[in-house]
Amino acid sequence: MTNSKIEIAPNELGATVRESSNKDIHYVRLVQSSIKIANNFLKKVTLSCLVFGKPEELEQTFGSLKFLPGKLVINESFVPSDDRNLKRAGSDDAPICVGLSPNGDTLPIYRTIIYDPTSSLEDTLISHTNVNEIRAFHNGEEFVPADTEVSEAQA
């Protein structure tokens, strides 16, 4: 609905260009908050992404800036990009969100957030189909798939 400016988030020492474990590649962290209405429910959403590059190029491009135009866009896909991009239902130990692919397969959803300087791209979202598993996790219950046979002794 409405997006704030994209902030170039500094680290705890105030540096916008951050060091990575690879001395030749550093990164900046972009953060944007927005207000969305889904199913008549107002919600503040904060997205972030990392932009990687050579330290000197990042410094020249982002070093003196605090904000950028554009927006951060969510791209969800069934195409594996990196296991760190698996969409989870909350924390790192939460279930991986899965969805139904166009050919009917149940596949994990991969989620990336990208910077769109033109503000012309829209979010690409995939509905997850493992709602019951996710609810059970968040309620602290053991998830038992509906097609699981339960013996009389277990009942």
Contact yes or no for 74/103 (Cβ under 8 A): no
* Per-residue pLDDT, 151: 45
Provide the percentage of residues in the chain whose pLDDT is more than 90. Answer: 60
Domain boundary among 44, 69, 94: 69
pTM: 0.80
In a domain, 155, yes or no: no
3-state secondary structure of 138: helix
* β-sheet bridge partners, residue 53: 26
Across 14-38, b (16+ Cβ under 10 Å) vs e yields eebbbeeeeeeebbbbbebbeeeee
Asked whether residue 60 falls in the same domain as residue 110, the answer is no
Instruction: Kindly indicate the confidence band of residue 142, based on its pLDDT and cuts at 50, 70 and 90.
Output: low
Asked whether residue 16 falls in the same domain as residue 34, the answer is yes
Mean pLDDT of 4-10: 92
Residue 62 is part of which domain span? 1-69
Domain boundary among 22, 51, 69: 69
